[in-house]
Amino acid sequence: MSDAREAITRAHSEEWARVVASLTRRFGDLDVAEDAAAEAFAIAVERWPADGVPPKPGAWLTTTANRRAIDRIRRESKRDGKQKEARLLYDDDPPEPLGVIDDDRLRLIFTCCHPALAIEARVALTLRMVGGLTVPEIARAFLVQESTMGQRITRAKAKIKAARIPYRVPSGEDLPARVSGVLAVLFLVFNEGYLATGSDVDPVRRDLTAEAIRLARLIRELVPEDGEAAGLLALMLLTEARRPARVSAGGELVTLVEQDRGTWDAGLIAEGHRLVRERLAARVAPGRYQVLAAINAVHTSARDVRDTDWSQVVALYDQLVRLDPSPVVALNRAVAVAELDGPDVAMAAVDSLADSLDGYHAFHVTRADLLRRLGRSREAREAYDRAIELAGNTAETAYLTRRRDQLG
């Protein structure tokens, strides 16, 4: 019984996207694909414990889902033409080898992340159709009502059908931009897990970070020559490696400076560093994710915070500013400058960003820390108060409150 449950869990993780992608290619309908795949897994839950796990779980699920999809078409058919179509589709041939479905998975990801869809819809649809998360799980992750998330996914699928968004991998000159859009969706998913918001959720959502990493691995596997795909995966791995040290036993956020580096995941760090080195060896101008990964590689290379090569971190941020001259990047650069040149130099850079970032909690966190280091306690307390007001979760609120109260 337990072996069957483990096999079903593993199959859901490994085969969901393959099954949905295969059905979408065959029937051209995301609703049919999703429902039939879900039914196939439900049947597996009933049968595998009694009948045993099939030798090829993916092939069994694909065959079962195909038959359920055809049954649905037959049930819903009202016209002779549709019934004929259903009869033509039905067959008992063995499924295609799973190797050919890899391209179908890639087509499915590009369909879910099509730029015609709003970014919120792309994220939700990708998690549902490619990741296999349930609507309630996605709704909880993004702090919206289940009905709201269900409507968002339904509208996205309807738009794909109405706009006849093609189920294919973009070709030629469109591909880099479209890959970039897919990576942006995965980055949003990861950040939502790592910086989870809301007072009633865990400060770090392991389910979301794990899913983002799994999908990033898939993209890396399907487009191995894309440097930014490797960069994003490396960035996620090096960030996830620090997760065990991110929240204290008392539920308080632990900053990078204060973290116990002995608890970091050495395996994830080694893998992330390897990807960063591979991109450096390629001698191709890096993109945003590759530079962010390199910054994280510098941090995770230091056994103690005092060993951090801050000059290298600032140099990498200088490179990132040229790629992404946003106020948030400038703020992060200022944090590194404070370690290299002192808090007074960084303070001037941070204050210049006030108009752009007044509503951004990290801006006030950074100001509060710099003001504290400069001995300007009254101003630091005000900055902490503003940061607490804007803080996203209980762990960060607890940390900021303690730091503020230590000012005396």
Distance CA 195, CA 184 (A): 16
Among 3-12, 108-117, 198-207, name the one with the lowest average pLDDT: 198-207
Q: Does the residue 245 lie in any domain?
A: yes
| Domain-located, residue 54 | yes
The range of the structural domain enclosing residue 304 comes to 227-250+258-308
Round to whole Å and give the CA distance between 356 and 170. 36
pLDDT band with cut points at 50, 70 and 90 for residue 196: low
**Which of 153-157, 192-196, 264-268, 404-408 bottoms out in mean pLDDT, i.e. has the lowest?**
192-196
Could you say which of 49, 74, 96 is where a domain stops?
A: 96
Higher local confidence (pLDDT), 197 or 20: 20
State the average pLDDT over residues 293-316.
96
pLDDT score recorded for residue 203: 64
How is residue 286 written in tokens?
A: 């890096």
Residue 83 — pLDDT band, cuts 50, 70, 90?
Answer: very low
**376 contacts: CB under 8 Å, gap ≥ 6:** none
**What's residue 78's pLDDT?**
56
pLDDT at residue number 208: 79
Structure-block tokens of residue 339:
């370690």
Strand partners, 198: 393
**pLDDT over 60 (residue 85):** no
Instruction: Give the Cα separation of 1 and 7 in Å (integer).
Output: 10
Question: What would the pLDDT profile of 219-245 be if each residue is shown by its tens digit?
Answer: 898 788 899 999 999 999 999 999 999
Which of 37, 63, 96 terminates a domain? The answer is 96
Q: 362-375, pLDDT tens digit by residue?
A: 999 999 999 999 99
pLDDT at 84 over 60: no
22 domain-assigned: yes
User: What's the confidence (pLDDT) of residue 211?
Assistant: 84
What is the chain's mean pLDDT, rounded? 87
- The answer to whether 216 and 184 have CB atoms below 8 angstroms apart is no
Domain edge (last residue) among 34, 68, 96: 96
In the chain, what are the helix, strand and coil shares in percent, each to the nearest 5?
Answer: 75, 0, 25
pLDDT digits (tens, 9 = 90+) for 251-281: 898 999 999 999 999 999 999 999 999 999 9
Any domain includes 289: yes
Neighbours of 26 (CB within 10 A): 19
The answer, yes or no, to whether residue 136 has pLDDT greater than 90, is no
pLDDT at res. 5: 86
111 pLDDT more than 80 = yes
Query: Is 282 part of a structural domain of the chain?
Result: yes
Cβ pair 275, 237 in contact under 8 A: yes
Could you tell me if residue 112 is inside a domain?
A: no
CA distance to 55, 111, 190, 196, 267, per residue, from 243 (Å) = 37, 32, 12, 13, 13
In terms of residues, how long is the chain? 408
- The Cα 69–Cα 63 span in angstroms is 10
In whole angstroms, give the CA distance from residue 23 to residue 63.
10
- The Cα 337–Cα 340 span in angstroms is 5
Distance CA 16, CA 190 (A): 20
Q: Which of residues 76 and 401 earns the better pLDDT score?
A: 401
pLDDT for 209 beyond 50: yes
Q: Do residues 245 and 261 lie in contact, with contact meaning Cβ atoms separated by under 8 Å? A: yes
- Give how many domains the chain has, as a whole number: 2
What is the pTM for the complete model shown? 0.78
Within-domain flag for 275: yes
DSSP per-residue string spanning 250-311: TS-B--GGGS-GGGS-HHHHHHHHHHHHHHHHHT----HHHHHHHHHHHHHH-SSGGG--HH
Rounded CA-CA distance 189/205 in Å is 10
Q: Give a yes or no: residue 355 inside a domain.
A: no
- Give pLDDT, residue 90: 44
Structure tokens at 148: 């709201």
In the predicted model, is pLDDT for residue 174 greater than 50? yes
Q: DSSP characters for 93-156?
A: PPPPPGGGHHHHHHHHHHHHT-TTS-HHHHHHHIIIIIT---HHHHHHHTT--HHHHHHHHHHH
Virtual CA dihedral for 126, 131, 136, 141, nearest 10 degrees?
A: -80
| CA atoms within a 13 Å half-sphere pointing along the CA-CB vector of 395 | 20
The pLDDT confidence band at residue 1, using thresholds 50, 70 and 90, is low
Please state which of the ranges 124-128, 177-181, 204-208, 247-251 shows the lowest mean pLDDT: 204-208
Strand partners, 393: 198
Q: Binning pLDDT at 50, 70 and 90, where does residue 99 land?
A: very low
pLDDT at 392 over 80: no
What pLDDT, on the 0 to 100 scale, is given for residue 197? Answer: 52
